[in-house]
A and B are shown apart, each in its own frame.
Chain A
Amino acid sequence: DIQMTQSPSTLSASVGDRVIITCRASQSISTWLAWYQQKPGKAPKLLISEASTLESGVPSRFSGSGSGTEFTLTISSLLPDDFATYFCQHYNNYPVTFGGGTKVDLK
Protein backbone atom coordinates (compact mmCIF):
# COMPACT_ATOMS: atom_id res chain seq x y z
CA ASP A 1 0.00 0.00 0.00
CA ILE A 2 1.11 3.58 -0.61
CA GLN A 3 1.72 5.42 2.65
CA MET A 4 0.68 9.05 2.88
CA THR A 5 2.50 11.16 5.46
CA GLN A 6 1.26 14.60 6.42
CA SER A 7 3.15 17.27 8.28
CA PRO A 8 2.74 18.86 10.63
CA SER A 9 0.16 16.85 12.55
CA THR A 10 -0.96 20.01 14.33
CA LEU A 11 -0.51 23.59 13.18
CA SER A 12 -1.31 26.58 15.37
CA ALA A 13 -2.11 29.71 13.42
CA SER A 14 -3.89 33.03 13.59
CA VAL A 15 -6.55 34.54 11.38
CA GLY A 16 -4.85 36.05 8.37
CA ASP A 17 -1.86 33.69 8.44
CA ARG A 18 -0.61 31.85 5.39
CA VAL A 19 -0.78 28.15 6.12
CA ILE A 20 1.06 25.38 4.30
CA ILE A 21 0.39 21.68 4.84
CA THR A 22 2.62 19.02 3.30
CA CYS A 23 1.69 15.52 2.15
CA ARG A 24 4.28 12.99 1.05
CA ALA A 25 3.60 9.72 -0.74
CA SER A 26 5.78 6.64 -0.26
CA GLN A 27 5.96 6.25 -4.04
CA SER A 28 5.10 8.36 -7.04
CA ILE A 29 1.39 9.02 -7.52
CA SER A 30 1.67 11.51 -10.39
CA THR A 31 -1.01 14.09 -9.53
CA TRP A 32 -3.59 11.63 -8.25
CA LEU A 33 -4.09 13.45 -4.97
CA ALA A 34 -7.10 14.94 -3.25
CA TRP A 35 -7.40 17.22 -0.23
CA TYR A 36 -10.31 17.24 2.22
CA GLN A 37 -11.38 19.46 5.09
CA GLN A 38 -13.09 17.93 8.10
CA LYS A 39 -14.74 19.72 10.99
CA PRO A 40 -15.61 17.99 14.28
CA GLY A 41 -18.54 15.64 13.96
CA LYS A 42 -18.82 16.19 10.21
CA ALA A 43 -17.90 14.26 7.11
CA PRO A 44 -14.84 15.27 5.11
CA LYS A 45 -15.43 17.83 2.38
CA LEU A 46 -13.55 17.58 -0.91
CA LEU A 47 -11.49 20.71 -1.55
CA ILE A 48 -9.02 19.82 -4.28
CA SER A 49 -8.56 16.97 -6.74
CA GLU A 50 -5.74 16.06 -9.13
CA ALA A 51 -3.38 17.86 -6.77
CA SER A 52 -4.37 21.36 -7.84
CA THR A 53 -7.94 21.47 -9.20
CA LEU A 54 -10.18 23.45 -6.90
CA GLU A 55 -13.66 22.01 -6.44
CA SER A 56 -16.64 24.14 -7.32
CA GLY A 57 -17.57 26.47 -4.49
CA VAL A 58 -14.25 26.17 -2.66
CA PRO A 59 -12.76 29.60 -1.91
CA SER A 60 -9.77 30.68 -3.94
CA ARG A 61 -7.66 31.16 -0.80
CA PHE A 62 -7.18 27.38 -0.97
CA SER A 63 -4.66 26.04 -3.45
CA GLY A 64 -2.81 22.80 -4.04
CA SER A 65 0.40 21.95 -5.77
CA GLY A 66 2.87 19.15 -6.32
CA SER A 67 3.39 15.96 -8.25
CA GLY A 68 5.15 12.67 -7.81
CA THR A 69 5.66 12.27 -4.07
CA GLU A 70 5.48 15.79 -2.61
CA PHE A 71 2.33 17.89 -2.35
CA THR A 72 1.20 20.99 -0.52
CA LEU A 73 -2.09 22.54 0.46
CA THR A 74 -1.89 26.29 0.99
CA ILE A 75 -4.41 28.57 2.62
CA SER A 76 -3.35 32.05 1.60
CA SER A 77 -5.04 33.95 4.42
CA LEU A 78 -6.66 31.91 7.16
CA LEU A 79 -10.25 32.71 8.05
CA PRO A 80 -12.11 31.59 11.20
CA ASP A 81 -14.06 29.05 9.14
CA ASP A 82 -10.80 27.33 8.13
CA PHE A 83 -9.94 25.96 11.57
CA ALA A 84 -10.38 22.26 10.89
CA THR A 85 -8.47 19.06 10.13
CA TYR A 86 -7.15 18.51 6.63
CA PHE A 87 -6.49 15.15 5.00
CA CYS A 88 -4.77 14.17 1.79
CA GLN A 89 -5.73 11.04 -0.15
CA HIS A 90 -3.96 9.36 -3.04
CA TYR A 91 -5.92 7.66 -5.79
CA ASN A 92 -3.10 6.24 -7.87
CA ASN A 93 -4.12 2.63 -7.28
CA TYR A 94 -6.07 0.52 -4.82
CA PRO A 95 -6.23 0.54 -1.95
CA VAL A 96 -6.54 4.33 -1.87
CA THR A 97 -5.13 5.64 1.38
CA PHE A 98 -5.34 8.83 3.40
CA GLY A 99 -2.82 10.86 5.31
CA GLY A 100 -3.04 11.01 9.07
CA GLY A 101 -4.43 14.53 9.04
CA THR A 102 -3.27 18.02 9.97
CA LYS A 103 -5.26 19.86 12.59
CA VAL A 104 -5.22 23.62 12.15
CA ASP A 105 -6.06 25.29 15.43
CA LEU A 106 -6.01 28.76 16.91
CA LYS A 107 -2.67 30.01 18.16
Chain B
Amino acid sequence: QVQLQESGPGLVRPSQTLSLTCTVSGVSISSGGYYWSWIRQHPGRGLEWIGYIHDSGSTHYNPSLKSRLTISQDTPNNQFSLKLISVIAADTAVYYCARGRSKVVTHFDYWGQGTQVAVSS
Protein backbone atom coordinates (compact mmCIF):
# COMPACT_ATOMS: atom_id res chain seq x y z
CA GLN B 1 0.00 0.00 0.00
CA VAL B 2 1.38 3.36 -1.02
CA GLN B 3 1.75 5.81 1.84
CA LEU B 4 3.31 9.26 2.08
CA GLN B 5 4.17 11.15 5.25
CA GLU B 6 5.36 14.75 5.52
CA SER B 7 7.69 15.93 8.25
CA GLY B 8 9.22 19.25 9.14
CA PRO B 9 8.93 22.27 11.43
CA GLY B 10 5.54 23.76 12.11
CA LEU B 11 6.93 27.27 12.52
CA VAL B 12 9.44 29.15 10.38
CA ARG B 13 10.61 32.71 10.87
CA PRO B 14 10.21 35.18 8.02
CA SER B 15 13.21 35.28 5.64
CA GLN B 16 14.34 31.86 6.84
CA THR B 17 14.28 28.55 4.93
CA LEU B 18 11.44 26.06 5.03
CA SER B 19 12.56 22.44 4.72
CA LEU B 20 10.10 19.57 4.48
CA THR B 21 10.60 15.88 3.85
CA CYS B 22 8.20 13.31 2.46
CA THR B 23 8.81 9.70 3.38
CA VAL B 24 7.29 7.24 0.95
CA SER B 25 6.46 3.60 1.64
CA GLY B 26 4.97 0.87 -0.51
CA VAL B 27 6.66 2.02 -3.71
CA SER B 28 10.13 3.09 -4.75
CA ILE B 29 10.47 6.76 -5.67
CA SER B 30 13.21 5.85 -8.16
CA SER B 31 11.07 3.65 -10.40
CA GLY B 32 7.64 3.50 -11.96
CA GLY B 33 7.80 6.81 -13.76
CA TYR B 34 5.95 8.78 -11.09
CA TYR B 35 6.07 12.50 -10.41
CA TRP B 36 6.68 13.10 -6.71
CA SER B 37 5.04 16.41 -5.94
CA TRP B 38 4.47 19.09 -3.37
CA ILE B 39 1.15 20.90 -3.13
CA ARG B 40 0.04 23.46 -0.58
CA GLN B 41 -3.26 24.76 0.69
CA HIS B 42 -3.53 28.22 2.14
CA PRO B 43 -5.90 28.68 5.09
CA GLY B 44 -9.49 28.45 3.94
CA ARG B 45 -8.46 28.52 0.32
CA GLY B 46 -7.74 26.33 -2.63
CA LEU B 47 -4.80 24.20 -3.60
CA GLU B 48 -1.56 25.31 -5.25
CA TRP B 49 0.83 22.98 -7.04
CA ILE B 50 4.41 23.72 -5.97
CA GLY B 51 6.54 21.37 -8.05
CA TYR B 52 7.68 17.83 -8.68
CA ILE B 53 10.69 15.59 -8.94
CA HIS B 54 10.47 12.71 -11.37
CA ASP B 55 11.94 9.33 -10.56
CA SER B 56 14.66 10.18 -13.10
CA GLY B 57 15.64 13.13 -10.91
CA SER B 58 14.30 15.81 -13.24
CA THR B 59 12.34 18.62 -11.62
CA HIS B 60 9.67 21.13 -12.61
CA TYR B 61 8.57 24.04 -10.47
CA ASN B 62 5.66 26.43 -10.36
CA PRO B 63 6.98 29.64 -11.93
CA SER B 64 5.53 31.61 -9.02
CA LEU B 65 7.94 29.85 -6.63
CA LYS B 66 10.78 28.81 -8.92
CA SER B 67 13.30 31.40 -7.75
CA ARG B 68 13.01 30.23 -4.13
CA LEU B 69 12.41 26.52 -4.51
CA THR B 70 14.44 23.32 -4.63
CA ILE B 71 13.00 19.81 -4.66
CA SER B 72 15.41 16.92 -4.24
CA GLN B 73 15.31 13.20 -3.67
CA ASP B 74 17.05 10.78 -1.31
CA THR B 75 16.53 7.45 -3.01
CA PRO B 76 18.29 5.21 -0.42
CA ASN B 77 15.81 6.45 2.19
CA ASN B 78 12.90 6.65 -0.27
CA GLN B 79 12.31 10.30 0.53
CA PHE B 80 11.97 13.53 -1.34
CA SER B 81 12.28 17.02 0.04
CA LEU B 82 11.25 20.62 -0.44
CA LYS B 83 13.39 23.62 0.38
CA LEU B 84 11.84 27.07 0.13
CA ILE B 85 14.10 30.00 0.90
CA SER B 86 13.27 33.50 2.08
CA VAL B 87 9.83 32.58 3.33
CA ILE B 88 7.13 35.19 3.88
CA ALA B 89 3.78 35.17 5.65
CA ALA B 90 2.07 34.17 2.41
CA ASP B 91 3.92 30.85 2.57
CA THR B 92 1.82 29.88 5.57
CA ALA B 93 -0.17 26.84 4.46
CA VAL B 94 -0.74 23.14 4.84
CA TYR B 95 1.89 21.40 2.74
CA TYR B 96 1.10 18.07 1.13
CA CYS B 97 3.33 15.63 -0.68
CA ALA B 98 1.62 13.59 -3.34
CA ARG B 99 2.29 11.10 -6.11
CA GLY B 100 1.67 12.21 -9.64
CA ARG B 101 0.75 9.49 -12.05
CA SER B 102 2.97 8.34 -14.87
CA LYS B 103 2.17 11.17 -17.21
CA VAL B 104 4.27 14.29 -17.68
CA VAL B 105 1.43 16.62 -16.80
CA THR B 106 -0.50 14.83 -14.16
CA HIS B 107 -2.96 14.50 -11.35
CA PHE B 108 -2.38 12.98 -7.95
CA ASP B 109 -3.51 9.60 -6.73
CA TYR B 110 -1.82 9.31 -3.32
CA TRP B 111 -1.37 12.11 -0.81
CA GLY B 112 0.23 12.52 2.57
CA GLN B 113 -1.87 13.73 5.48
CA GLY B 114 -0.39 17.22 5.22
CA THR B 115 1.73 19.29 7.57
CA GLN B 116 0.81 22.76 8.80
CA VAL B 117 3.50 25.38 8.36
CA ALA B 118 3.21 28.84 9.85
CA VAL B 119 5.56 31.67 8.90
CA SER B 120 5.71 34.07 11.80
CA SER B 121 8.18 35.91 13.96
Give A contacts to B, CB under 8 Å: 32, 34, 42-46, 49, 55, 87, 89, 91-101
CB <8 Å contact, A101 and B46: yes
Which residues of the other chain, A, contact B105 by a CB distance below 8 angstroms? Answer: 32, 91-94, 96
CB <8 Å contact, B109 and A55: yes
CB <8 Å contact, A89 and B107: yes
CA A49 to CA B64, docked complex, whole Å = 26
| A26 shortest CB reach to chain B, Å | 15
CB <8 Å contact, B49 and A95: yes
CB <8 Å contact, B48 and A98: yes
Which residues of the other chain, B, contact A100 by a CB distance below 8 angstroms? Answer: 45-46
Main SS at interface, chain A: loop
CA A32 to CA B100, docked complex, whole Å = 14
* B interface residue count range (under 10 / 10 to 19 / 20 to 34 / 35 or more): 20 to 34
Interface core residue of A32, A92, A96, A100 (most chain B CB under 10 Å): A96
Question: B57-76 toward A: CB 8 Å interface, digit per residue (1/0)?
Answer: 00010111000000000000
Which residues of the other chain, A, contact B47 by a CB distance below 8 angstroms? Answer: 44, 87, 89, 98
Which residues of the other chain, B, contact A96 by a CB distance below 8 angstroms? Answer: 49, 105-107
| A2 shortest CB reach to chain B, Å | 11
Q: A91-B103, A91-B106, A94-B105 are in contact. Are A99 and B114 (CB under 8 A)?
A: no
CB <8 Å contact, A95 and B45: no
Per a CB cutoff under 8 Å, which of A43, A91, A92, A101 touches B114? A43
CB <8 Å contact, B60 and A94: yes
Q: A98-B47, A100-B45, A101-B46 are in contact. Are A46 and B60 (CB under 8 A)?
A: no
Interface residues of B in 73-121 (CB under 8 A from A): 96, 98, 101, 103, 105-109, 111-114
CA A94 to CA B62, docked complex, whole Å = 8
Which residues of the other chain, A, contact B111 by a CB distance below 8 angstroms? Answer: 43-45
Q: A91-B103, A91-B105 are in contact. Are A97 and B113 (CB under 8 A)?
A: no
